[in-house]
Amino acid sequence: MPPIEQLTEDGYDLQFGTNVLGHYYFTMLLLPALFAGTKTSGDGKARVVNTSSSTHMFSNMNFDTFADGPARKKAGTQTLYSQSKHVRVVRFVHVTFV
């Protein structure tokens, strides 16, 4: 886990930036290739497999901790890590069932 002082260039918590924003952005970059691949795949589908960690069960979403501020520093690195994994699970479930 990165030290609490480390942030993304845009001022987000580094755990959130890496585990949530980075994965989301990478998936969005892959979408054109995934859609193109459906034309030649056997079942006409493409898949993205998301993983997380069981530590997602130990946190929820506190939007005040996504960017730098007192709430983020008070939360601590373990809570921020758990929260980033929780957000990945919530995002994955949202995308799957939408």
**Which helix (DSSP H) or strand (DSSP E) does residue 74 occupy?**
helix 70-75
- Choosing from 12, 59, 84, 85, which is the catalytic residue? 85
> Active-site residue 24, yes or no?
no
- Choosing from 12, 52, 59, 84, which is the catalytic residue? 52
> Active-site residue 25, yes or no?
no
Residue 49 class from Cβ within 10 Å (0-12 exposed, 13-18 middle, 19+ buried)?
A: exposed
> Can you tell me the distance from the alpha carbon of 17 to that of 11, in angstroms, rounded to the nearest whole number?
9
- Choosing from 12, 81, 82, 84, which is the catalytic residue? 81
Do the Cβ atoms of 35 and 26 come closer than 8 Å? no
> Active-site residue 82, yes or no?
no
Which residues participate in catalysis according to the annotation?
52, 81, 85
